[in-house]
Structure 1
């Protein structure tokens, strides 16, 4: 573990104009390292380096297959250094070491997938009759600005970087102030893959300074942001001033509808992954379960058993996949989640298990289950972003869908039933960008991901994501 980490701009590691920030290990509450913090001048330098690369043609002039091979090479670099990266990621973010390894593998998969996709973006010919040849081609925006959250700092950065580079964009990445350290390997991967200086720039900075400067930079032609609704609105407003398109992934309040014929033995696994993986700090977490009244009590007890079975403590001590959970990313995040649980109790929800800060060093919250939650409670409407499961009941399909759709979000949803006709009906009516049937987090890198409503717009993952990074040019030729 280095004591001081620098920013990577225009092919060089350097200090930041905004000084240094202390990075804390949320698993212990102790100081971990210091990180250089970029200011607006650093951001401008990074964007202009990326613009220089774009205008030089260094990325767009090469054959897409060659560019794709370079992208894939970045993934192989991550795989080769998985243990080193996972160790740092675990310490700075708080997740169990085995979860950190899983994140690095997921990041490498994005580079593999989008590297393969680089040569598949093709135009089309449009028949206009005799005397004309008309066709389209896809061109990169040039500079892709990417603002990355702290919950999956390597994997989410890889998701955007891989798609941006595969389509020929130069990329400027701002990491989170909480988890900037592990992103250094992405810069090293770009160098190892042979990308020219300025093609990949990665720095940390305060959101109100570096983040605002990046989102509002006139040469940032396309912006990708993952984070809160409030910050997403600010990013979109800044981008709108220079008409830059955005991809906004702004979280959710996702619901699983569990019918009376659902396999609850299998559903216990979905509870474990859906709400307690990464301590519930997942935008698509299964934060609400809407269960048929005939199975309500049974499901509540099963959920409580899952929560109580988890071994909670420092992630670095939990390196084997299993029933473990690490710290939340910070005391602030932990305290906010605990406060929302207390508010829910005051509003009439029943605390079945957990809900309290743990009496150990670090940002730990007990895995929590709440029952007797009603749709109008704040816990059923607002994103907790923590290991807190809210259970509600329903009587018929229409009521279940109405409750599931009854928030301002619309990221993912789930239906659990043996009746596929029932599942299909619900899938058509649920207002969400992705619907899981009988398995939470079904799908993968290949499947498009994005939200309705305040969950944002644009799509990540899958081939659909590539269209966010290119614009269509039409060429119409008169042939005499």
Structure 2
């Protein structure tokens, strides 16, 4: 582990005008390394470098297949250095080492997928009758400003960079101050792939300084953000001042509806993946289980068994896929989640298991299952962003849909039943951008992802995401 990490601007490593900040290992509370912190001047240099790339045509003049091959090469670099990158990611973020490896594989998959898509962006011919030729072109916006969260710093940055560059944009990426170190490997991947200098710029800085300077910069043409609703609103306002389009992937309070005919043995695996992956720090986590009242007690018991079987400790010691869970990203995040559990207990809910900070060094929270939760409680309405599952009973299908749709969010939802008609009815009525049937997190890089309501707008992943990075130009020619 190197002791000092710099920003990457215009294909060069650079210090930051805002000094340095310590990056903490959440499994121990010890400082891992120092990170250069960018200020507004650093942001301006990065944006200017990206603008030069766009205006020079050095990226857009390439044949799309050539650009796509460079995007794919970034993914291969990550895979070739997977062990080194995974250890850095685990040490700074906390997730088990096997989850870190999987995140790197997913990041590489984005580069593979969008690299393949680069030469599929085509316009169309529009018939206007004799004497005219009319057609459309899909052109990149220019400079894509991307603000990346700390929960999946490599994977989320990869999906934005890959789609942006494949479409011909230059990117300026602002990482989280909690997890900036692993993002340096994306910069190294860009260099290894041979991308023109200034195509990918990666810097870390405080949100109120570097983040605000980036999204309000008059030189950007598009903003992409994943994170909290509050920050997303601030970014949308800043972008609106410059009439810049946004893609916002915000929070969620996603519900799994478990009917009386569900396969509960299989559902135990969905609980493990849905709420305890990355210590519950997932926008699309299965944070609510709505279960038919006839199965309520059994599902509580099964969920407690899943939580109790988890081996909780430092991520670097959890190398094999299975039952391990690491710390939360920081003690502040852990304390916030624990406080929400305590508030729910005061409101009448019960921690069937877990719910407390663990009495060991690091930002560890016990895997938690909450019972006696009512739909109007804060624990059922607000995003915990931690390993806390709320279980709520329902009488019938109509009430289940009502409870599932009863929050301000609408990111994902799930239905667990052997009745396909019931599942498709629910899929039509659920207010969510993605609906899983009988498997939480079904889908992949190819499937569009994004929210309804306060979960944001625009789509990440899939073909739909690629279209976020281009705009349509019409060319009308009079031929006689």
TM-score band by shorter chain is over 0.9
For residues 341 and 185 of structure 1, the distance between their equivalents in structure 2, rounded to whole angstroms, comes to 37
Residue 329 of structure 1: aligned partner: 329
Aligned pair count reads 480
Residue 309 of structure 1: aligned partner: 309
For residues 30 and 262 of structure 2, the distance between their equivalents in structure 1, rounded to whole angstroms, comes to 45
Residue 475 of structure 1: aligned partner: 475
CA-to-partner distance for each residue in 1:272-302, whole Å, 9 max, x for gaps?
Answer: 0000000000000000000000000000000
Question: How far did 1:251 drift?
Answer: 1.4
Residue 434 of structure 1: aligned partner: 434
For residues 399-478 of structure 1, what are the structure 2 equivalents within 5 Å?
Answer: 399-478=399-478
SS at match of 1:363: coil
Question: How far did 1:425 drift?
Answer: 0.2
Residue 291 of structure 1: aligned partner: 291
SS at match of 2:41: helix
Q: State whether structure 2 residue 4 is matched by structure 1 residue 4.
A: yes
For residues 362 and 104 of structure 1, the distance between their equivalents in structure 2, rounded to whole angstroms, comes to 24
* TM-score normalised according to structure 1 size: 1.00
SS at match of 1:181: coil
SS at match of 1:2: coil
SS at match of 1:129: coil
* TM-score normalised according to structure 2 size: 1.00
For residues 382-401 of structure 1, what are the structure 2 equivalents within 5 Å?
Answer: 382-401=382-401
SS at match of 2:334: helix
CA-to-partner distance for each residue in 1:289-330, whole Å, 9 max, x for gaps?
Answer: 000000000000000000000000000111111100000000
Q: State whether structure 2 residue 355 is matched by structure 1 residue 355.
A: yes
CA-to-partner distance for each residue in 1:112-153, whole Å, 9 max, x for gaps?
Answer: 000000000110001111111000010000000000000000
Q: State whether structure 2 residue 39 is matched by structure 1 residue 45.
A: no
Residue 95 of structure 2: aligned partner: 95
Question: How far did 1:350 drift?
Answer: 1.2
Residue 128 of structure 1: aligned partner: 128
Residue 219 of structure 1: aligned partner: 219
SS at match of 1:182: coil
Unpaired segments ≥5 residues, structure 2? none
Question: How far did 1:264 drift?
Answer: 0.3
Residue 345 of structure 2: aligned partner: 345
For residues 304 and 252 of structure 1, the distance between their equivalents in structure 2, rounded to whole angstroms, comes to 23
Residue 161 of structure 1: aligned partner: 161
For residues 365-380 of structure 1, what are the structure 2 equivalents within 5 Å?
Answer: 365-380=365-380
Residue 69 of structure 2: aligned partner: 69
For residues 251 and 261 of structure 1, the distance between their equivalents in structure 2, rounded to whole angstroms, comes to 30
SS at match of 1:421: helix
Question: How far did 1:389 drift?
Answer: 0.1
Residue 144 of structure 2: aligned partner: 144
Question: How far did 1:7 drift?
Answer: 0.3
For residues 463 and 432 of structure 2, the distance between their equivalents in structure 1, rounded to whole angstroms, comes to 19
Residue 237 of structure 1: aligned partner: 237
For residues 277 and 439 of structure 2, the distance between their equivalents in structure 1, rounded to whole angstroms, comes to 15
For residues 92 and 403 of structure 1, the distance between their equivalents in structure 2, rounded to whole angstroms, comes to 37
SS at match of 2:183: helix
CA-to-partner distance for each residue in 1:342-371, whole Å, 9 max, x for gaps?
Answer: 000000111100000000000000000001
For residues 438 and 78 of structure 2, the distance between their equivalents in structure 1, rounded to whole angstroms, comes to 32
Return structure 1 stretches of 4+ with deviation > 4 angstroms: none
Residue 112 of structure 2: aligned partner: 112
For residues 249 and 266 of structure 1, the distance between their equivalents in structure 2, rounded to whole angstroms, comes to 29
For residues 361 and 350 of structure 2, the distance between their equivalents in structure 1, rounded to whole angstroms, comes to 27
SS at match of 1:352: strand
For residues 203 and 364 of structure 1, the distance between their equivalents in structure 2, rounded to whole angstroms, comes to 29
Question: How far did 1:3 drift?
Answer: 0.3
Question: How far did 1:73 drift?
Answer: 0.3
Q: State whether structure 2 residue 73 is matched by structure 1 residue 85.
A: no
Question: How far did 1:183 drift?
Answer: 0.3
Question: How far did 1:196 drift?
Answer: 1.1
Question: How far did 1:72 drift?
Answer: 0.3
Residue 265 of structure 2: aligned partner: 265
Residue 57 of structure 1: aligned partner: 57
